[in-house]
């Protein structure tokens, strides 16, 4: 027969084993939860990093789309300038019928180019009597006069162009005023 003491000792051992087992299970569960949390944190960081890369890529793509025509436009500017010079050099009272037709066709081409420039958000820089701004103007000459304030644009020799209000395609070539001494 098993004595009462042996049963108590066995019960104590059994309880002790159960406690150790429960402690070990709790420790393992805590470790498991820590690992789960670390994995979730890494997953969240990876997701954020992917989103940042996607956002940066989308931004770069949009900038590329916005300014992709820049080189083409820069090459078209001299053509546009020459059309305008031609139109400005022809006076209506000097024209015979054939020249008038040619002038009208050139004006039509000029209008189409102006519409295209508006469509692609290209702004012409050709204002007179504004302050000289080296970021958009290129001074070609100085005009000494007391009739106009110093540092004002008195003549635009060749217009400049800006794409999307931010990128200078070509500076305006201008004559700048300066006070006579």
User: Given the structure tokens 């400049």, which residue do they identify?
Assistant: 160
The model's pLDDT over 2-55, given as tens digits with 9 standing for 90+, comes to 666 667 777 787 888 888 888 899 999 999 999 999 999 999 999 999 999 999
Q: What's the burial of 153, exposed, middle or buried (CB within 10 Å: 0-12/13-18/19+)?
A: buried
Q: Does the pLDDT value for residue 76 go beyond 90? A: no
Q: Which of 10-19, 61-70, 115-124, 146-155 has the highest mean pLDDT?
A: 146-155
How far is it, in rounded angstroms, from Cα 35 to Cα 23? 18
Helix, coil or strand: residue 133: coil
Q: Does the pLDDT value for residue 1 go beyond 60? A: no
Q: Between 156 and 15, where is the model more confident?
A: 156
| Token pair of 64 as six digits | 């590329």
Q: Does the pLDDT value for residue 91 go beyond 80? A: no
Q: Does the pLDDT value for residue 175 go beyond 90? A: yes
How far is it, in rounded angstroms, from Cα 31 to Cα 126? 72
How far is it, in rounded angstroms, from Cα 126 to Cα 175? 12
Nearest alpha-carbon partner for 172 in 116, 103, 124:
124
Measured CA to CA in angstroms, residue 172 lies from 126, 128, 144, 160 at distances of: 7, 11, 20, 4
Q: Are 158 and 123 in contact (CB under 8 A)?
A: no
| Token pair of 162 as six digits | 């800006």
Q: Does the pLDDT value for residue 103 go beyond 60? A: yes
**Percentage, residues of the chain above pLDDT 70:** 93
How far is it, in rounded angstroms, from Cα 15 to Cα 94? 119
- Taking residue 7's Cβ as centre, other Cβ atoms within 10 Å add up to 10
Query: For the whole model, what pTM was predicted?
Result: 0.59
Residue 128 DSSP code: S
* Band of residue 125 on the pLDDT scale cut at 50, 70, 90: very high
Nearest alpha-carbon partner for 159 in 111, 119, 114, 99:
114
* Band of residue 84 on the pLDDT scale cut at 50, 70, 90: confident
């Amino acid at each position: 027969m098993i004595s009462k003491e042996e049963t108590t000792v066995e019960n104590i051992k059994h309880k002790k084993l159960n406690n150790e087992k429960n402690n070990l299970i709790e420790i393992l569960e805590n470790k498991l939860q820590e690992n789960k949390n670390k994995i979730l944190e890494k997953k969240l960081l990876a997701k954020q990093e992917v989103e940042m890369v996607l956002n940066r890529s989308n931004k770069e793509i949009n900038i590329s789309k916005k300014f992709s025509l820049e080189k083409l436009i820069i090459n078209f500017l001299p053509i546009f300038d020459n059309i305008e010079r031609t139109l400005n050099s022809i006076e209506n009272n000097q024209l015979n019928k054939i020249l008038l037709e040619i002038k009208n066709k050139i004006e039509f081409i000029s209008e189409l180019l102006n519409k295209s420039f508006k469509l692609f958000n290209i702004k012409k820089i050709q204002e007179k009597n504004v302050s000289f701004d080296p970021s958009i103007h290129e001074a070609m000459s100085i005009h000494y006069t007391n009739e106009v304030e110093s540092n004002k644009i008195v003549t635009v020799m060749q217009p400049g162009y800006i794409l999307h209000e931010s990128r200078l395609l070509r500076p305006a070539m201008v004559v700048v005023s300066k006070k006579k001494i």
